Every structure is written in C-alpha cells, then in structure tokens.
Amino acid sequence: MPVDWKSSHTRTLHLLTLNLSEKEVSDSLLLDPSDEEELREQLDMHSIIVSCVNDEPLFTADQVIEEIEEMMQESPDPEDDEALTQSDRLSMLSQEIQTLKRSSTSSYEERVKRLPVSELNELLEEIETAIKEYSEELVQQLALRDELEFEKEVKNSFISVLIEVQNKQKEHKETAKKKKKLKNGSSQNGKKERSHVPGTYLTTVIPYEKKNGPPSVEDLQILTKILRAMKEDSEKVPSLLTDYILKVLCPT
C-alpha cells in the first residue's frame, strides 16, 4: 500500500520543525471578504493603466509623428552614404583637404606623430582612396574636355566654311547677272564651249533631313568636306554627295 503522507511520522516531525500546525496552515489559505476586495482593487488593471496615463502628459498624433521624424533624422542612415555620388564624395574630400591646409603644418605633424599605428594605417588608406578617386575623376574630366574641344572645332569649321560658301554663291549670282547682259554679243561668234563652267558645283544643293536633335559630329564632318569642295568648285562634290546620301540619309 502507498504511504499516507498526512498520517506519517515524517510529516509530524516536519510540522514540529517548522513550528506549524494543520489549523494554521488551513487558516492561512482562507481570505476574509475585506482581503478579497483589497486584492481585487490591487489587481484591477484598468485602474492601474488609467493612473499611469494620468501621471504622464498626453501627446497628439502630430506631436508623436514629429518626435519620430526627429529621431530618424538624428539617427545615421547607412543608405545615405550609398546614395552619395562620386562628385559629393570628392567635394567632401576637397573640404577636408582645405581644412588640413588651413591648419598649421607643425600642429598637423605633431598630431600625426601622436596617432597610433592603426589610425595611421586608416589615414593612409583614406588618402590613397582619395588620390585614386581624384585621379579617375581627373581622367574623365580631361577626356570630356578633349571631346568638347574637338566638337567645338568641328562646329566652328562648319560654320566658317558655310559662311564662305554663302558669300561665294552671292558673288556667283552677281557675276552670272552681269554675264547675261553680255551674252548676246558673245553667243553669236564661234562654238559653245562644253568644258567645265566656273561655279557649276558651287550651287550644289545638299539634301538634309531634320531630326529631333542637332546633327552629330560625324555628320558635321561630312558636311564640312562637301562645303569645302563646293567652295573650291571641285569635281569631288558629286562623289562626296553620294557618300553622304548613302551613309547618312539612307544608310544600308
């Protein structure tokens, strides 16, 4: 049979050691109605929450949103560093270099001498990275400058040749008018010459297709060659004009 704990000798000794009795234990588990009411008031969560809310000031929704925005602005955002463009980083580096230049050389040297090896290595890496970025930016800017200068030269040469051809065309028209007046006397004598007449290629009409944007540098170079041949009244005008039509206007 199992051992009855309540009637066992061990439990009797246990109660004597703790100086307890069965009646006291049972009485301690019973609560008076007043104690139950007090316990119910203590465990009333609604009154606890209301009392806590009354102690703290209430915030409106706008105030809470403003506080959250201030916290977000104060906290550093790693995405902002990634969003910085190369020009922004270079401007920041240039500002740092200007700051170093303003500071005295002796104080800067003393500050560098006091730095530990780890910070010196970090500073060296930052300087090398800055030099690399500046070098890449310099190469890109120099290449862009060369392209812009070449484009400017091509456009200037095109404009100057075009003006010269227009002036020559005006002179040719005036000369042709004068020749018409003297044509009656000269046409009665001898045969008509079938050789190259001066100004034949000067009045050549160059076909041009208007596009959304201005003509490219390559198109301007081809047009400049044609205009120069027209100015010189060269026999190369028909071949140049054919290449222009096949390559630019009607490319295959």
First to last CA, the chain: 110
What is the rounded distance in angstroms from the CA atom of residue 227 to the CA atom of residue 204? 9
DSSP 8-class letter at 197: P
**Is 170 part of a structural domain of the chain?**
yes
In percent, the amount of the chain with pLDDT more than 70 equals 58
Domain count, the chain: 1
- pLDDT (tens digit, 9 = 90+) per residue, 219-234? 899 999 999 999 998 8
Residue 205 contacts by C-beta under 8 Å, 6 or more apart in sequence? none
DSSP 8-class letter at 100: H
**Which amino acid is located at 50 in the chain?**
V
**Which amino acid is located at 65 in the chain?**
I
Q: Tokens for 171, please give them.
A: 């002179």
- pLDDT (tens digit, 9 = 90+) per residue, 156-191? 999 999 999 999 989 888 888 887 777 755 555 554
**Nearest 10 degrees: Cα torsion 40, 43, 49, 51:** 60
**Is 82 part of a structural domain of the chain?**
no
**Is 47 part of a structural domain of the chain?**
no
Q: What is the mean pLDDT of residues 140-164?
A: 94
Residue 102 pLDDT: 61
**Is 114 part of a structural domain of the chain?**
no
**Is 238 part of a structural domain of the chain?**
yes
- pLDDT (tens digit, 9 = 90+) per residue, 59-76? 565 666 666 666 666 655
Residue 83 pLDDT: 47
- pLDDT (tens digit, 9 = 90+) per residue, 68-121? 666 666 655 555 555 456 566 666 766 766 666 565 556 767 777 888 888 888
What is the rounded distance in angstroms from the CA atom of residue 54 to the CA atom of residue 56? 6
What is the rounded distance in angstroms from the CA atom of residue 41 to the CA atom of residue 102? 71
Residue 176's Cα: distance from chain center in Å?
60
Assess contact for 219 and 154: CB atoms under 8 A.
no
What is the rounded distance in angstroms from the CA atom of residue 47 to the CA atom of residue 41? 8
**Is 140 part of a structural domain of the chain?**
no
Residue 25 pLDDT: 47
**Is 166 part of a structural domain of the chain?**
yes
What is the rounded distance in angstroms from the CA atom of residue 46 to the CA atom of residue 54? 12
Assess contact for 203 and 189: CB atoms under 8 A.
no
User: Distances from the Cα of 85 to the Cαs of 80, 82, 89, in angstroms?
Assistant: 10, 8, 6
The whole domain housing 212 covers 150-179+199-251
**Is 173 part of a structural domain of the chain?**
yes
